[in-house]
Structure 1
Amino acid sequence: MPELPEVETTRRGIEPWLKGHTVAKVNIRQPKLRWPVPDTITALEGQVVHELTRRGKYILLHTDAGVGLIHLGMSGSLRIVEADLEPRKHDHFDLVLGSGKAVRYHDPRRFGAFLWVQGDPLQHPLLCDLGPEPLSDAFDGDYLFAQSRKRTVSVKVFIMNARIVVGVGNIYANEALFLAGIDPRCAAGSVSRERYLQLVQAIRQILAYAIECGGTTLRDFVREDGTPGYFQLELKVYDRAGQACAVCQNPIVQITQGQRSTWFCPLCQH
């Protein structure tokens, strides 16, 4: 699944092609995505995209008429193509631009979304309950410590809760906990304020570096220009069960938490 760095990489990649440009036509080839693409999406036609922002894993296209809301789902990607390029299988919609280019959405599993929002998009039901952005000033150790009190859920599951903080998916939760030296099995409420300060710093560092590297390529995801990101070459624990820890050489252990795989070093993380 594309995670926050991949989504942010995509937003930055398509922004120069969309910002300040007119959406001449919206071509919907497959309206049955995670939620049906609404008929109102045609309101984008003729509109200038003033700004592209991101909230969690959603990309927001801001126009005078409203906001287009795009989610990449499990296997979705956006790329810039010539508007007359023949679509491939699973190319579900195009935003044809006045420039002659098109933003094309590809999604084999159809778990993504393309919605139309009028009014404040941050009050939309999909966005209004999201926690702070992990790279924003609102996310710090004091906040995470306060949110964790009396919680018995594991610290890894805790930081993957989008109501607590958005965009810390499985890959980056594993890596951040390793960098902070925290055992992912610890109850969230048992972690000290000082260690949450360290964890926030680790989350920020991992996500910022992943964005700089262009996101992580796993399974279906590629960047907007069709080339992969390379952060996966830097992973220290994720998907490395049985391999030697980069710090202590002890084998990396794999367990299951909240129906997701977790990887950690039992010696370095405690």
Structure 2
Amino acid sequence: MPELPEVETVKKGLLHLVQHKRIAEVIVRWPKIVEVPTVDEFCQNLIGEQIENIQRRGKFLLFKLTHFDLISHLRMEGKYEYFPEEELVQVDKHTHVIFKFTDGSQLHYNDVRKFGRMILVEKDQGPLYKGIQKLGPEPTSDEFDLANFASNLQKSTSFIKPLLLNQKVVAGLGNIYTDEALWFAKIHPQQPASTLTHSQIEDLREAIIEVLGRAVKAGGTTIRSYKNALGEAGAFQLDLMVYGKTDEPCPRCGTPIAKIQVGQRGTHLCPYCQKIRGQDS
């Protein structure tokens, strides 16, 4: 699943490619991609709209149009492909939404698993969408408040990894970067969140900010199918410490990296560096 760094990179690529373009036609080939409104209204309302800006909130993309906000969630394997000229267009079986622009270029939404969703709402109403309103703060030094983070962890009965994945405590984390941040903070993924010490919570907050920031700079992580809007793979997989490194030596202590299941998610950790500890450890 594209996580915050991948979605941020897609946003930057789309701004470079389609900002200020005007929509001439929209074709929806898989109706379930459009959550709201009806497919006919979706296609009709978008005709003549100009893409004024593109923003990101958590893992959501917000296309700021002339009269509407178009919300896009890529889910597991959604991606955008840009074609600068009509004669270069390639429509494959996994292309589900086609945006044709007045200058002859096209933007295609491609999704092998068909899990992605698009929602069209009135202008500036995107941030009020239910999925976006539930999001926690962005993982930046300015927005990711330590006191609130500590409070949310201390009142939770969950293991720390599932809690970080639910998007309500901090936005944008997925399987890859949660494993990486927990390794940097030396916290076991099954550590009960409420038992973390203040020092551990501080370290975890800093690790989340640092890991996601570096991943954004690297253009995200390419594990399977991810490419940005320019068709480029990310590079952060070269800097991963534990994710996907089963049986390889821990970069910190040399212990083989283990893979376990936590909340039905494959989870990578160092058994030596990341031991489950009590509150007073």
Relative to the length of structure 2, the TM-score reads: 0.90
In the alignment, which of 102, 105, 113 is matched to residue 106 of structure 2? Answer: 102
**Structure 1 residue aligned with 2:51:** 49
Give the conservation status (yes or no) of the 8 Å contact 1:23–1:95: yes
Q: 1:216 aligns with which of 221, 231, 235?
A: 221
Q: What value does the CA root-mean-square deviation take over the aligned residues?
A: 1.7
1:142 counterpart (129, 140, 147): 147
Distance of 1:146 and 1:168 partners within structure 2: 19
- What is aligned with 1:73? 75
- CA distance in structure 2 between the aligned counterparts of 1:6 and 1:33, rounded to whole angstroms: 20
The equivalent of 1:238 in structure 2 is: 243
Q: Which shows bigger deviation, 101-110 or 15-24?
A: 15-24
Matched, 1:9 2:21: no
Aligned to 2:91: 87
* Segment drifting more, 163-172 vs 14-23: 14-23
Write the letter of the residue equivalent to 2:52. H
1:126 alignment partner, one of 115, 124, 131:
131
Report the counterpart of residue 41 of structure 2 in structure 1: 40
| C-alpha distance in structure 1 between counterparts of 2:25 and 2:197, whole Å | 53
Asked whether the equivalents of residues 40 and 116 of structure 1 are also in contact (C-alpha less than 8 Å), the reply is: no
Aligned to 1:269: 274
The answer to whether 1:112 aligns with 2:113 is no
User: Judging changes above 3 Å, is the alpha-carbon distance between structure 1 residues 260 and 252 closer, same or farther for their aligned structure 2 residues?
Assistant: same
CA displacement at 1:72 relative to structure 2? 1.0
Residue 243 of structure 2 aligns to which amino acid in structure 1?
A: Y
- Tell me by how many angstroms 1:6 deviates: 0.9
Runs of 4+ that moved beyond 6 A: none
Distance (Å, rounded) in 2 between the aligned partners of 1:130 and 1:45: 31
What per-residue deviation string (whole Å, max 9, x for no partner) do you get for residues 123-166 of structure 1?
11222211111126221322210111232211111111211111
Paired position in structure 1 for 2:263: 258
- Give the whole-Å Cα distance in 2 for the aligned partners of 1:11 and 1:135: 17
Question: Which consecutive residues of structure 2, in runs of 5 or more, have no partner in the other structure?
Answer: 276-281
> Which of residues 241, 247, 252 is equivalent to 1:247?
252
The SS at the match of 2:72 is strand
Deviation of the 1:83 alpha carbon: 5.0
Q: CA deviation at 1:34?
A: 7.4
8 Å CA contact retained: 1:172, 1:207: yes
Write the distance in 2 (CA, Å) between the matches of 1:116 and 1:108. 22
Partners of 1:230 and 1:240 lie apart in 2 by 16
**Secondary structure at the counterpart of residue 274 of structure 2:** coil
Distance across 2 between alignment mates of 1:144 and 1:161:
14
Measure, in 2, the Cα distance between the counterparts of 1:204 and 1:257. Answer: 22
**2:232 alignment partner AA:** T
Aligned to 2:127, the other structure's residue is in SS state helix
- Asked if structure 1 preserves the Cα contact closer than 8 Å seen for 2:70 and 2:126, the reply is no
1:188 aligned residue: 193
1-side partners of 2:27 and 2:209: how far apart? 38
Displacement after TM superposition at 1:30 (Å): 2.2
Letter in 2 for 1:195: Q
Which one of the candidate residues 162, 168, 191 is aligned to 1:163?
A: 168
Match in the other structure for 1:207:
212
Partners of 2:71 and 2:152 in 1: CA distance: 29
Equivalent residue for 1:60?
A: 62
In 1: Cα distance, 2:251 partner to 2:174 partner: 22
Q: TM-score, normalised by structure 1?
A: 0.94
> Do the aligned residues in 2 keep the contact of 1:145 with 1:192 (CA within 8 Å)?
no
| Runs of 5+ consecutive residues of structure 1 not aligned to the other structure | none
